[in-house]
Structure 1
Amino acid sequence: MASAKASTPRPQTAAWLRSSNDISQQFLAFGGRADVVSLAGGLPAAELYPVAEVQAAAQAAIARHGATIMEYGPVEGLPALRQLIAARASAETGGTFTAANVLLTTGSMQALDLIGKVLVDPGELIVAQAPTYLGALDAWRPRAPSYRPLDWTLTDPDFDATLARAKFVYSVPNYSNPTGVLVSQERRVALLDKVLEAGTWLVEDDPYLSIQLDGSPGPSILSHSVARSTRPGPYDGPVIYLGTVSKSLVPGLRVGWVIAEPGMIQNLALTKMASDLSGSLLTQAIALELMEREFDHQHSRSIVPVYRERRDALLREANARLADWFEWEVPVGGMFVWMRSKGDAIDTDALYKFAVEEKVAYVPSSVFDFTGENRFAMRVNFTRSSPEVIAEGVRRLARAIEHYLSARQQLDGAA
């Protein structure tokens, strides 16, 4: 377990730590205004939340468990929900998982925080998908780690040596935040092989699994790890898998989980005890009611057509109004389109000032980059708003780009 000694971020990164936090707070505050069209959020559509079903599940949970779910509980979480998640993992991977392989957390964010505390001392190395999830960077920021980008092609001749020094690899192979990329099965297997050779950990963060817009992502890296195991008994491999109900049900339940070998689960649970003593047995029991009858799967199937329509509306409007300046791939799942400035011609940090004037919000790429240097892309969300609102947001964004380019031209002319 990593030590908890205090540290000061290295001078060359301290300025970026401040600036990325500042930008994050700016777009969060601005994007929440009623007069702003926000394409910035990473949230499901609130109007699709299954309010009646959650209410019924809450009543059933209280009737079933009584006052016991209003107490403090085991730090590992509600035993019945841990067993259900273990059974699902066994069925999905073909492996053997028990409750000892499962820790319930307050969303995936707590899992990321715990992993940092258990594995990383200040300055130690994390190999992370790049660009990467802002929440992961925020979770590990107090640890002041160093980073190396994960290149899924694995063609870097120094990658093996880098991996040998890394405390873990952070990956989001299914529809990642922010890029929406779906990683091929071949590359998942190749990365797992490298991790096994290096003897390090591989974190597989999978919050968007339920938002499969076109086709299926195929087996998880955890599944491939199970296939390589030769030992009998519960799973004991290097993959630390993170799941959540935040996208398949509702984020307000704050129920997530870690699936890993029992020793890692014990270390994470020990650290969790000092963090929150125990999670909410009440919300875990509500999640149990819904997941036992597979309502999470049913609900996912019902919202996917809505999200697909919204993705298509965003891309249709973007093709008409933004294609001269930005390029992108069509995401086959998840919640985001990653738009890259053609020829790095538009600094999306600088563009944000003009977006504020047009009352439209997005997330600039710099906050997803652990160096803070990628300033030529933006993350655009399509799940939160209706097609009509999305179209208006793109129109406002196009106007902001035109004003940005005009202002820059005037500055260049004055120089």
Structure 2
Amino acid sequence: MSTSSNTAPSAGPRPPEFATWMKQGNNITQQFLSFGRRPGPIVLSGGLPAPELYPISDVQEAARDALEKHGSAALGYGAVEGLFDLREAIAHRLSTDRLSLAPENVLITTGSLQAVELIGKALIDPGDAILAEYPTYLGALDAWLPRLPRYAELPHEAPWPEAKFAYVVPNFSNPTGAVLKRKAREALLSRSAESGIWLVEDDPYGELRYEGGVQPSLLEMSAVPGTAIYEGSVVHLGTLSKTIAPGLRVGWAVCAPDMIRALAQAKQGSDLSTSTFCQAVALELIRKDADRRHVPTLIDAYRERRDALCAAAQEHLADLFEWSVPEGGMFVWMTARQPGLDTYALLPFALEAGVSFVPGSVFDSRGLVSPSLRLNFTANPPDILQEGVRRLSRAAREFASRQAAAE
């Protein structure tokens, strides 16, 4: 699919919702910075892996091997597209009997969020439409905001309106933790093919599965068996940030070669290339399957933490919120039982009680009042998660009491 094959609505003025959304995002950032300086805060607002679980010895060995094998080349500038051997390794790893990938299908990025941002640079002009679910990943909304797009809700069954691309996080979505089942994935691919609209599959959490069956990637499902190289309409994004460590800042985009060229042109104006040394380290880690060997350790720890948070919530929050236990990922999405509760207004009460969360409104490009909130369970051990939920319960009850008194 050509990058120029998609047409989008004419450019228009910045939607008024953006001012509300930006104000909320900026206020939340300021509150969190202040919150982090207080003694004993419990941060349930992040999207962070557990730092005590980083595989330091594997990274140390990979760093030594990277310097021994690559020498001074590991410390110099690299190709915009990334190290050829790393692109080849990722292409090989993601290839299946159905999906045939080559290095030409891979662009190395500085974390997968850069790939998200590059898609915006390559495709979006002011006023262009993006199809996305409500709620959607805050990092993507941040990355695309300077391009001044507008958003339309992504329909799974109905025909798609005109847009530059559709964006989904199909495995354990950020923020909701939901997973798209096969029928829903098939529907998305069918609509993408009918409309000629690119489908962006952001998959940072796919390896973090605690229950349920593995779903095929949209990238694989969109492939035509027997073709020499992938030429489909899916742009698949991945990263080592969740399975190894975010400090490596190594991610990738996998898609048709013409889209890779467009993204590489956009990347050249951003950073010339992702750190060559970090790429060489990532290459050694992937060659030894260090990330995949580390995943079972993460799954055991994160499953325990998820269960601890949900058990504490059942004890302390069940009368106030409802939620589903996620099959994987890093987040629990809670929705207030009381209609109209504004979790953005609840946030200062939680911060005062010594616990943070992310209110649902910042995941919605419309900036609407949200009764939902996102909690992270991966970055803290079970006892801290349990105390965090108790603090949130106290804050929510104080907030409800204040509201009732004001009515």
TM range (shorter): over 0.9
Say if 2:40 is the partner of 1:45.
no
Matches within 5 A, 1:12-23: 12-23=17-28
| Counterpart residue identity of residue 61, structure 1 | A
Say if 2:218 is the partner of 1:221.
yes
Q: TM-score, normalised by structure 1?
A: 0.93
**What CA distance in whole angstroms lies between the structure 2 residues aligned with 1:25 and 1:94?**
48
2:86 is matched with which residue?
A: 81
Say if 2:169 is the partner of 1:172.
yes
1:234 is matched with which residue?
A: 229
1:57 to 62, 77, 80: 62
Q: Is the partner of 1:370 in helix, strand or coil?
A: coil
**What CA distance in whole angstroms lies between the structure 2 residues aligned with 1:193 and 1:343?**
38
| Identical residues among aligned pairs (%) | 49
Indicate the larger mover: 11-20 or 346-355: 11-20
1:124 is matched with which residue?
A: 128
**What CA distance in whole angstroms lies between the structure 1 residues aligned with 2:367 and 2:37?**
24
Gaps of 5+ in 1: none
**What CA distance in whole angstroms lies between the structure 2 residues aligned with 1:333 and 1:28?**
29
1:110 to 110, 114, 119: 114
- Tell me the CA shift for residue 231 of structure 1: 6.9
Q: Is the Cα–Cα contact under 8 Å of residues 21 and 362 in structure 2 kept in the other structure?
A: no
Say if 2:365 is the partner of 1:361.
no
| Counterpart residue identity of residue 240, structure 1 | V
2:144 to 135, 140, 145: 140
Seen in structure 2, the aligned counterparts of structure 1 residues 7 and 20 have a Cα distance that, compared at 3 Å, is farther
Q: Is the Cα–Cα contact under 8 Å of residues 243 and 258 in structure 1 kept in the other structure?
A: yes
Seen in structure 2, the aligned counterparts of structure 1 residues 302 and 75 have a Cα distance that, compared at 3 Å, is same
Indicate the larger mover: 258-267 or 294-303: 294-303
1:201 to 198, 202, 206: 198
- Tell me the CA shift for residue 8 of structure 1: 6.7
- Tell me the CA shift for residue 317 of structure 1: 0.5
- 1:9-35 per-residue CA deviation (whole Å, 9 max, x = no partner) reads 334532332222322442355256442
**What CA distance in whole angstroms lies between the structure 1 residues aligned with 2:160 and 2:44?**
40
**What CA distance in whole angstroms lies between the structure 1 residues aligned with 2:37 and 2:136?**
23
| Counterpart residue identity of residue 160, structure 1 | P
Across the two proteins, how many residue pairs are aligned to each other? Answer: 399
Gaps of 5+ in 2: 5-10
Q: TM-score, normalised by structure 2?
A: 0.94
- Tell me the CA shift for residue 345 of structure 1: 4.5
Q: Is the Cα–Cα contact under 8 Å of residues 20 and 366 in structure 1 kept in the other structure?
A: no
- Tell me the CA shift for residue 273 of structure 1: 0.6
**What CA distance in whole angstroms lies between the structure 2 residues aligned with 1:135 and 1:25?**
17
Q: Is the partner of 1:352 in helix, strand or coil?
A: helix
Seen in structure 2, the aligned counterparts of structure 1 residues 252 and 307 have a Cα distance that, compared at 3 Å, is same
Seen in structure 2, the aligned counterparts of structure 1 residues 161 and 308 have a Cα distance that, compared at 3 Å, is closer
1:26 is matched with which residue?
A: 31
Matches within 5 A, 1:192-341: 192-226=189-223, 229=224, 232-341=227-336
- Tell me the CA shift for residue 230 of structure 1: 6.2
Richer in helix (by share) = 1
2:8 is matched with which residue?
A: none
**What CA distance in whole angstroms lies between the structure 2 residues aligned with 1:276 and 1:67?**
20
Seen in structure 2, the aligned counterparts of structure 1 residues 214 and 230 have a Cα distance that, compared at 3 Å, is closer
Say if 2:405 is the partner of 1:404.
no
**What CA distance in whole angstroms lies between the structure 1 residues aligned with 2:233 and 2:195?**
11
**What CA distance in whole angstroms lies between the structure 1 residues aligned with 2:64 and 2:34?**
35
2:7 is matched with which residue?
A: none
Q: Is the Cα–Cα contact under 8 Å of residues 31 and 40 in structure 1 kept in the other structure?
A: no
Q: Is the Cα–Cα contact under 8 Å of residues 27 and 362 in structure 1 kept in the other structure?
A: no
RMSD of Structure 2 on Structure 1 (CA): 1.7
**What CA distance in whole angstroms lies between the structure 2 residues aligned with 1:307 and 1:53?**
20
Q: Is the Cα–Cα contact under 8 Å of residues 160 and 191 in structure 2 kept in the other structure?
A: no
